[in-house]
């Protein structure tokens, strides 16, 4: 049995930094939405990050693919991993607390296991992984409220949108493994953000109209944070931690992001969550730890 890859101290520090950055993205979404429409917020985020990552790629002189099929794949990834989930999460945050949004977003890893099991023979759904998935689904149901699964209304739809965003992320991960596996990850991220920018910029202009530039410092700070730190910077940091700690350990970031967002939401936005949200997060966390083999031994070969 291959031993679990350990996390060196530097990787732990950068893992916590990444969780803090992504936890702050939920707060920045909420602050930006005070003055900026949903689609414009997302368009600014992906377009700004796209420019920064291409500057990085050029400075590093990384090879840029020329195949039209790869660029079509970038467009699909931009839809599945940026445009669609960013829009769903940002729209959901119009009515639900940032902490709850982060809790439901933690289910991304759970959906990732399920979708990967359907797509790849080497990631089959074993008894251990199935136990973790079921606990994760239970956690999502508890966090958003069981009534949201049986009745559709203006209260539950934003929370279900966050679940849809988590599923979109999971499908994107499978698509990326099939199509973009041979590319430098920074190039893949820049290409993906190009695809999402091509989708979001005209959509935002069509639906929201021309952007307003007379925002206050708080809103501009939130928009800048989303583009520069929570997207461009986070992608570069993500791949650094991936190289040091491995994919399994990196999945812990989804657990760490939620409590960071909860604390930030309470301190900055005076948000309060119902007890069921914390219970749901505990079930999601338990499911992820079981899937990762930290609570149940890895007796299967998956």
For 1, the token pair is: 């049995």
pLDDT score, position 52: 96
What is the maximum span of the chain, computed from C-alpha positions, in angstroms? Answer: 59
pLDDT score, position 299: 54
Chain centre to alpha carbon of residue 78: 13
Rounded to whole angstroms, how far apart are CA atoms 59 and 43? 24
Please tell me whether residue 211 adopts helix, strand or coil conformation: coil
pLDDT score, position 272: 76
Token look-up 């657990």 returns 255
Rounded to whole angstroms, how far apart are CA atoms 122 and 119? 9
Rounded to whole angstroms, how far apart are CA atoms 188 and 200? 18
Rounded to whole angstroms, how far apart are CA atoms 129 and 142? 20
pLDDT score, position 185: 84
The secondary structure of residue 96, as a DSSP letter, is: S
Rounded to whole angstroms, how far apart are CA atoms 166 and 115? 11
* First-to-final CA distance of the chain: 11
Helix (H) or strand (E) holding 236: helix 234-250
pLDDT score, position 1: 43
Rounded to whole angstroms, how far apart are CA atoms 66 and 91? 35
What residue ranges of the chain have pLDDT lower than 50? 1-2, 4, 152, 300-302
Tens of pLDDT, residue by residue over 174-206, are: 787 777 767 888 898 999 999 999 999 999 999
pLDDT score, position 38: 96
Please tell me whether residue 180 adopts helix, strand or coil conformation: coil
User: Does the predicted TM-score (pTM) go above 0.85?
Assistant: no
Tens of pLDDT, residue by residue over 205-243, are: 999 999 988 899 999 999 999 999 999 999 888 877 776
Within a 10 A sphere around the Cβ of 175, how many other Cβ atoms?
18
Rounded to whole angstroms, how far apart are CA atoms 82 and 91? 14
pLDDT score, position 268: 87
Task: Indicate the domain borders of the chain.
Answer: 9-291
């Amino acid at each position: 049995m291959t031993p679990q890859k350990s996390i060196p101290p530097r990787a732990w520090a950068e893992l916590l930094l990444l969780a803090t950055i992504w936890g702050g993205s939920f707060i920045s979404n909420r602050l930006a939405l005070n003055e900026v429409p949903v689609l414009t917020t997302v368009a600014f985020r992906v377009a700004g990050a796209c420019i920064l990552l291409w500057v990085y790629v050029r400075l590093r002189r990384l090879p840029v693919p020329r195949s039209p099929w790869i660029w079509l794949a970038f467009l699909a990834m931009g839809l599945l991993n940026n445009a669609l989930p960013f829009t769903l999460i940002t729209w959901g945050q119009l009515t639900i607390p940032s902490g709850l949004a982060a809790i439901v977003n933690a289910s991304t890893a759970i959906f990732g296991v399920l979708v990967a099991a359907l797509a790849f023979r080497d990631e089959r759904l074993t008894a251990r992984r199935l136990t973790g998935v079921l606990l994760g689904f239970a956690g999502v149901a508890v966090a958003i409220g069981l009534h949201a699964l049986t009745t559709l209304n203006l209260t539950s739809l934003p929370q279900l949108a966050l679940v849809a965003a988590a599923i979109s992320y999971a499908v994107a991960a499978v698509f990326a493994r099939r199509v973009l596996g041979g590319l430098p990850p920074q190039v893949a991220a820049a290409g993906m953000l190009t695809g999402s920018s091509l989708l979001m910029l005209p959509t935002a202009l069509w639906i929201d109209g021309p952007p307003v530039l007379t925002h206050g410092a708080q809103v501009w700070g939130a928009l800048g944070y989303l583009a520069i730190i929570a997207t461009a910077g986070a992608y570069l940091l993500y791949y650094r931690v991936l190289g040091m700690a491995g994919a399994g350990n990196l999945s812990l970031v989804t657990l760490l992001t939620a409590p960071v967002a909860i604390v930030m939401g309470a301190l900055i936005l005076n948000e309060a969550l119902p007890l069921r949200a914390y219970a749901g997060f505990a079930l999601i966390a338990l499911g992820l730890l079981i899937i990762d083999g930290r609570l149940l031994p890895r007796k299967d070969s998956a």
